Every structure is written in C-alpha cells, then in structure tokens.
Copies of this chain bind each other. A is one copy, B any other.
Amino acid sequence: MPPAGDAQETRRRLVEAAYREFAAHGVAGARVDRVAATAGVNKALIYFHFGNKEGLFTAVFEMIVNQALAEAPFDATKLPEYAGRIFDVGEANPEALRLVTWHRLERAADQPPPQAVIAANQSKVEAIAKAQAAGQVTARYTAAEILALVLSIANMWTVMSPEMHLAAPTDPAARRALVVDAVATLVRP
C-alpha cells in the first residue's frame, strides 16, 4: 500500500464515499466509519484531511454545488429549456438533490449560504431582468420571482412526496414535458 501515496486521490475517494453516505443518511445519520470503509482508507484520514464530520460534509457540498452550477448553463431567453435541463440533471443525480435537502434541514440555519450560489443567482436574476426589458419574458412577475418559479417547477417531482407519484405519471418523459410546458406558459410575455 502507498503510505506516502497520493493524498489527492485519497481525498477524492473520501469525498466520493462521503457523498453517497451523506446523501443516503444525512449528517446525523451518516457513519464516519462507514465512509472510511467504503473509501477503503483509515478513519483517521478523514480527520487528518477534513478536520471533522462537518468538514467532510462541507467538502462534499461544495463539490456538488460547483458541479451543479457547471452542468446547467443559463439562458434567460430560453427558460423552458433551462427548466428541462435542470430536470435532466436532477433526474441523473437524485442523490445530489437529497444532499441539498439534508443541507437545508440540518445545516442551513447555522451555515452562511455559499457565496458561489448567491453570485450565480444574482447573475441569473439580472439576465432575466434584461430579457424582460427586451420583451422576451413576461413582466407580470419580478425577475427573482420568475427564477424561483422556474427552479421550483423544474424540481417539482423530486421534491414531491412519494405518495404523489402513485397518482401522477411515472413516465419521466411526460414529467419532463410537463415541466417545460408549465414554465413556458408562465414566462410567456
């Protein structure tokens, strides 16, 4: 085994394992020993690299946020398509949405919101405002309200309680079509 092995690689393996653990069980439910076992490294390495359990979650959360921001390019003049893309990303990474929800429930209260997210939202709001001024997007709602609506509808199925899925269409394509169409209806000038 490589003791002076690749620390970078060890960190990556730990974050990957922690991602699954936290997404499945949250901070309180996650087991540090389980993360270490899954990553195939000694538990003490977690404390060496990340300080504590909380630090490990922070590392995972930052990775997910950056990844999410990178995967969904924003175009204020094509909000329905953007919503569809968000839907696709959520569909492909259901664990990421769980992780964000755990964050909201367990940590958001005593954690300052990530600067990257605030900045990203701000630029999106400005872009929407510009599109509104150009008459490409409805002026019925404020730019921030539109962004909130788009994101809410894009993620509506993942946030929905599972009981709802029994009554609603299970076909992903139909769910996606609904998301795109609903956003289109709402943001039409």
Interface of A is mostly: helix
In the complex, chain A residues 135-186 whose Cβ is within 8 Å of any chain B Cβ: 140-142, 144-145, 147-149, 151-153, 155-157, 159-164, 166-169, 178, 181-182, 185-186
What is the distance, in angstroms, from A117's C-beta to the closest C-beta of chain B?
5
Stretch of A10-18, A38-46, A50-58, A101-109 contacting B (4+ beta carbons < 8 Å): A101-109
Report whether A166 and B118 are in contact in the complex, using a CB–CB cutoff of 8 Å.
yes
Report whether A163 and B28 are in contact in the complex, using a CB–CB cutoff of 8 Å.
no
Contact size range, A: 35 or more
Report whether B163 and A156 are in contact in the complex, using a CB–CB cutoff of 8 Å.
no
Report whether B26 and A25 are in contact in the complex, using a CB–CB cutoff of 8 Å.
no
CA distance A28 to B178 in the complex (A): 35
Given contacts A125-B167, A149-B156, A166-B118, contact A104 B140 (CB under 8 A): no
Q: A152: nearest residue on chain B (CB-CB)?
A: B156
Report whether A168 and B148 are in contact in the complex, using a CB–CB cutoff of 8 Å.
yes
Residues of chain B lying within 8 A (CB to CB) of residue A104: 161-162
CA distance A151 to B100 in the complex (A): 20
Report whether B105 and A162 are in contact in the complex, using a CB–CB cutoff of 8 Å.
no
A2 on the interface (CB 8 Å rule)? no
Selected contact of A29 from candidates B106, B141, B151, CB within 8 Å: B106
A122 on the interface (CB 8 Å rule)? yes
Report whether B105 and A149 are in contact in the complex, using a CB–CB cutoff of 8 Å.
no
A114 on the interface (CB 8 Å rule)? yes
What is the distance, in angstroms, from A73's C-beta to the closest C-beta of chain B?
19
A121 on the interface (CB 8 Å rule)? yes
A98 on the interface (CB 8 Å rule)? yes
Report whether A113 and B166 are in contact in the complex, using a CB–CB cutoff of 8 Å.
yes
Given contacts A101-B105, A105-B101, A106-B29, contact A122 B160 (CB under 8 A): no
The 5 closest A-B pairs by CB, nearest first: A28-B29, A152-B156, A113-B163, A28-B28, A144-B168
